[in-house]
Amino acid sequence: MAVLEVRDLHVFYGNIEALKGISLQADAGQIVAILGGNGAGKTTTLRTISGLLRPRSGSITCNGKSLVGLSAHGIVAMGISHVPEGRRIFNVLTVEENLNLGGYLIRSDRAMVQQRKGAIYALFPRLLERRMQLAGTLSGGEQQMLAIGRAIMSDPKVLMLDEPSLGLAPILARSVLRTVREIADRGTTVLLVEQNARQALTIAQRAYVIEVGRIVLEGEASELAKDERVQKAYLGGFEAVSSASPEP
Amino acid sequence: MGPFLQYTVIGLTVGSFYALVALGYTIVYGIIRLINFAQGDLSMVGAFIGWTLLVSLGLEHLPLFLAIVVAFVVPMLGTAIVNLGILQFAYKPLLNRSLLAILITALGMSLVLQNGSELIWGPAIEAYPPNLLPAEGMFLGPVHVTYVQIALVVVSLLLMGGLVAFVQGTTLGTAMRALAVDHDAARLMGINVNQVIRLAFVLGAMLAAASGVMLGLYYVQIQFTMGFLLGLRAFTAAVLGGIGNIPGAMAGGMLIGLLEAYTTGYLSGKWEDVIVFGVLITVLVVKPTGLFGERVAERM
C-alpha cells in the first residue's frame, strides 16, 4: 500500500516546464531515493509535494487523500515533513526554539512537545548539549541534525530530505544517512534526494532517476546500483572518492 | 540639575508613546519588510475611538477605573479591525509583488485614515476630558512627577513587557521571529504564514491605539492630523533602534522622547523636528542598521 503516491505531475516555472509528468510511489517504512543531476527536477518534485509550488496538473496523494491544492502548512498537518535544500534552519533562534517550531502544530499539547523533543535529543545527543545555543552557531553537521530533528517533531508519515549530506565531511554524511535509515526503520516513509547516489542506493529500497523533468529509470535500489547507465552517470568516478574516504 | 531631571521625566513619558508606535513599525517590518506608514494614523484612530467613548458616549462619568479600561480596550480592538481591513484589502493583493507598490499603498492608507477620520469626526480639534485623571503629582527630590505621567509610563511598560513575553516566550511568538528569517521554512513547520502576518498587524494596531489614547489623556487635544508627525517620529525611533528589532524600537522611542524634551527645554519647541529628523538622516547615513540592528538580513 503506497503511503505517498505521485501521478503524472507537471510543474511550470512561468513557461518553462520543470516537471514533465513525474510519477512515483513510496510504501510504508520504505526509503525511496531520487537521483539525478543538477536541474533535473528533484528539488522541484519535493517542493511541489510539500505545497511550496503548485502543479499545473497531476495528483499527489498521501494514504489515498489528495494533497493538491492544500496550503503548505495544511500538507504538514497531513503528515508530510520536508527538510529543504540547504537545511534552512532558523539561525537567529536557539536549537530548542527551532525544535519547538517543528512541533508548531502540536504546540497546545506541551507534554507531547516535551516528549518528542526528548526523543530527538536521544537521537542527536549533540543537540541536547547545544539546546540553548543559537542555531546559526552550529557546525554544518549539527545544523543538518537540527533540520532533521525539527522535521520529525511533527511525527510525519513521510519525511522528505533534500540533499541531507551536501557539504558534510564523508564521515558525517554517512552518520546522517545512518540516522535516516533508523528513522525509516521506525515506520516513517522517507523520500531521499541525494547527490551521493552510491550511499543513497545502499540505504534505499527503491529509487528513481530523473533527467530533465522525466523519470528515466526506476526500480529496486539494489538493481539500479548494478545498472550500467546508473553506474556510468551517477556512480562513475566514485572509486577515486571512495579511496579517499573508505567505508567504515 | 533640576530642569534636566524635569525634562527627563517628560521625555520618558512622551518617549513611551513613541516606543509603542515604533513597535508597530518594527513588528510589521520584521515579518513582511513593509514600512506601514499608516502606523501613526492608527494611533490617531485609536485616540478618536477613545474620545468617542469617553466624551460622546459619556463614559467619563463611569467609575474612573472602569472608564479607563474601556477607553483602552475598545480602541485597541477597533483599531486592530481597521488594520486587518487595510492588510486584507490594500496590502495582501500586493504582498508578493513589488515592495515599492506596497510602500506607496501604505502612504495612501495613511491618507485614507486621515481623511476617513475627518469625515467621521470632523476637522475640529477635540478635547479629552481634562479632569478625568488627577492633575496633582508628587516631588521626587527637585522633580515634579504627575500621577498621570507615572500611570501612562507604567501602562506602556506593561504593554511592552507583555509583547516581549509573547514574542520570546510562546511558540506563536517564536513563529513570528521565524517568519522574519524565512517564510518558506516557516511554512514547512506547519505555520500558517498569513495567520501570523495578521497577528502582527493586530499587535501593531493595538499598541498604536493604546499610544493614541495615552496621547489624548496626556495632551488633552486631538485632531485627525495628529498621526502624521507622531508616525514620522516613531518611524525615526524604529530606525534609530534598528528596524525589525523589538528592544531597539523601545530604546529608540525613549531616546527620541528624551531628545525632544531636551530640545524643547534648552532650545525651543520649534527646533524639535529639526533635531529629531536630523537624527533620522544621520542614522540613515552613518549606521543604517540602527543601534541594535546588527542582525538585519535583507530578503529583498
Residue with cell 499603498: B105
CB-based contacts of B120-127 (< 8 A; 24+ apart in sequence): B120/B48, B121/B48, B121/B51, B121/B52, B121/B224, B123/B223, B123/B224, B124/B223, B125/B221, B125/B222, B125/B223, B126/B48, B126/B51, B126/B55, B126/B221, B126/B222, B126/B223, B127/B55, B127/B220, B127/B221, B127/B222
Query: Averaged over A174-180, what is the pLDDT?
Result: 91
Domain-embedded: residue A213 = yes
Q: How many CB pairs under 8 A join A and B?
A: 70
Of A51, A81, A100, the CB nearest to B171: A100
Q: How distant is the Cα of A136 from the closest Cα of chain B, in angstroms? A: 12
Residue in chain A closest to B195 (alpha carbons) equals: A73
Domain-embedded: residue A146 = no
Domain-embedded: residue A128 = no
Residue from B176, B189, B294 to probe the interface with A (highest A Cβ count within 10 Å): B189
Greatest pairwise CA separation for chain A in angstroms: 52
pLDDT of residue B294: 56
Domain CATH for A197:
3.40.50.300
Q: What letter does residue A80 receive in the DSSP assignment?
A: E
Q: Residue B128, SS3?
A: coil
- Residue pair B3/B217 in contact by the 8 Å Cβ criterion: no
Query: Averaged over A164-178, what is the pLDDT?
Result: 89
Q: Residue A245, SS3?
A: coil
CB atoms A103 and B192 under 8 Å = no
Residue in chain B closest to A113 (alpha carbons) equals: B171
Is a pLDDT exceeding 60 seen at residue A146?
yes
Of B175, B187, B192, the CB nearest to A52: B187
Q: Where residue A89 falls among pLDDT bands split at 50, 70, 90?
A: very high
pLDDT of residue A239: 43
CB atoms B187 and A73 under 8 Å = yes
CA–CA gap between residue B124 and residue B134 (Å, rounded):
26
For residue A63, give its domain range: 2-87+156-244
Is a pLDDT exceeding 50 seen at residue A106?
yes
Is a pLDDT exceeding 70 seen at residue A248?
no
Of A71, A84, A154, the CB nearest to B185: A84
Residues of B in contact with A54 (CB under 8 A): none
Average pLDDT value for chain A: 91
Is B221 an interface residue toward A (CB < 8 Å)?
Answer: no
pLDDT of residue A246: 44
Residue from B181, B188, B191, B197 to probe the interface with A (highest A Cβ count within 10 Å): B188
CB atoms A100 and B295 under 8 Å = no
Residue A39, by phi and psi: left (phi above 0), alpha (psi -120 to 50) or beta? left
Q: Where residue A167 falls among pLDDT bands split at 50, 70, 90?
A: confident
Q: How distant is the Cα of B246 from the closest Cα of chain A, in angstroms? A: 14
From the list B222, B225, B221, B251, the residue with the least C-alpha distance to B236 is B251
CB atoms A104 and B190 under 8 Å = yes
Tens digit of each residue's pLDDT, chain B (300 residues) = 778 999 999 999 999 999 999 999 999 999 998 999 999 999 999 999 999 999 999 998 899 889 999 999 999 999 999 999 999 999 999 988 888 899 999 999 999 999 999 999 999 999 999 888 887 888 888 888 998 999 999 999 999 999 999 999 999 999 999 999 999 999 999 999 999 999 999 999 999 999 999 999 999 999 999 999 999 999 999 999 998 899 999 999 999 999 999 999 998 888 888 998 998 899 888 888 888 875 444 432
Task: Kindly state the cell numbers that stand for B28.
Answer: 510589521
Q: What ipTM was reported for this prediction? A: 0.90
CB atoms A104 and B175 under 8 Å = yes
Q: Residue A162, SS3?
A: strand
Residues of A in contact with B171 (CB under 8 A): 100-101, 103-104, 107
Domains: count for chain A: 1
Q: Measured between alpha carbons, how far apart are the two ends of chain B, in Å?
A: 48
Query: Averaged over A144-168, what is the pLDDT?
Result: 94
Q: Where residue A235 falls among pLDDT bands split at 50, 70, 90?
A: confident
Is B104 an interface residue toward A (CB < 8 Å)?
Answer: no
Of B174, B182, B191, the CB nearest to A97: B174
